[in-house]
Amino acid sequence: MHDDILNYAKRLKLSWIPQHYQEVEAQSQQEFLLKLVEAEVTQREEKKLNQLLKQSTLPTVNGETFIWNDIQLPSGMTKDFLLQGDFLEHKTNLIFYGGVGTGKTFLSTLIGLTIIRTQAKKVKFYTVASLVNALLEANNNGNLGKLMKQLSKLDLLILDELGYIPLHKQGGELLFQVISMCYETRSIIITTNLQFGQWNHVFGDQILTEAVVDRLIHHSHLLIFNGESHRYKQSILNSK
Ligand SMILES: Nc1ncnc2c1ncn2[C@@H]1O[C@H](COP(=O)(O)OP(=O)(O)OP(=O)(O)O)[C@@H](O)[C@H]1O
Ligand SMILES: [Mg+2]
């Protein structure tokens, strides 16, 4: 009988049960069964969460508290709208605009992490440069369809640092394809140091830029990151 249990448990991918069921303390058969299924569900959820976190390639955060003082939210917008991922419901995009060290990457990461932890949603973080490189490489290797399919399964795409590096023509066009695909079907957070009027310097083409901006801002909120660089503030504090 023991071998049969081992065999069935293995086929059900529940090998831990025959190994550990004797450690479960329960007053009744029902309680015993409850504890077993509960443990399995907890384990599966933890595993799924870890996978989502790993796949998201979000930067690590070091437990610092986010300071909201210098962030200009659109009127009526709450922190919960951002952190609880309410914006995902209507496939709204968020555009974080501001100078260096003002928390754009930090807040986008915080939102991504919170949405994964609380809602088990699929999030992926890229710098614009890294996504464009991945797109160019996939295109050269005949894997563009596969990459686009992966991207189409996301709930939230975070594109960090638009504007820091100008894109080559093909890179800009591929990025446009991604933005087009996401339009009205999923949310993007995009962080940038450039006003929309200067995005043509990134895409290198006025018509393409207009098409990108049009799609991104149609259902979007603009958050303005004011204030001084926190990196700068921290380095001054550390040097005192
Ligand atoms: N609003 C904030 N509250 C607390 N710490 C912050 C805030 N903004 C920035 N910092 C600190 O400064 C560091 C740099 O911030 P972050 O990388 O988010 O800036 P950024 O706006 O993305 O800048 P860049 O445009 O150069 O990429 C963070 O890791 C954090 O330590
Ligand atoms: Mg940044």
Span 89-103, pLDDT tens digits: 999 999 999 999 999
Same domain assignment for residues 114 and 8: no
Which structure tokens are listed for 72? 């200009």
What average pLDDT does the segment 217-223 reach? 93
Q: List the residue whose alpha carbon is closest to atom 16 of ligand 1.
A: 103
Structural contact between residues 188 and 108, judged by C-beta atoms closer than 8 angstroms: no
Q: List the residue whose alpha carbon is closest to atom 9 of ligand 1.
A: 103
Q: How many domains does the chain fold into?
A: 2
Residue 66 lies in a domain: no
Burial 206-227 (b: 16+ CB within 10 A, else e): eebbeebbebbeeebbebebeb
Same domain assignment for residues 17 and 134: no
Q: List the residue whose alpha carbon is closest to atom 8 of ligand 1.
A: 103
Residue 62 lies in a domain: no
Q: Which residues, at least 6 apart from 83, have a Cβ–Cβ distance to it below 8 Å?
A: 110, 111, 114
Mutate to test the pocket of ligand 1, among 106, 107, 111 (most ligand atoms within 8 A of CB): 106
Residue 23 domain boundaries? 2-56
Residue 89 lies in a domain: yes
Same domain assignment for residues 15 and 99: no
Which pLDDT tens digit goes with each residue over 103-115? Answer: 999 999 999 999 9
Give ligand 1 pocket residues (Cβ under 6 A).
64, 66-67, 98, 100-106, 161, 193, 225, 230-231
Residue 63 lies in a domain: no
The answer for 22, left when phi > 0, alpha when psi is -120 to 50, beta otherwise, is: alpha
Nearest atom in ligand 1 to the alpha carbon of residue 98 is 21
Query: Among 94, 68, 91, which Cα is nearest to 79's?
Result: 68
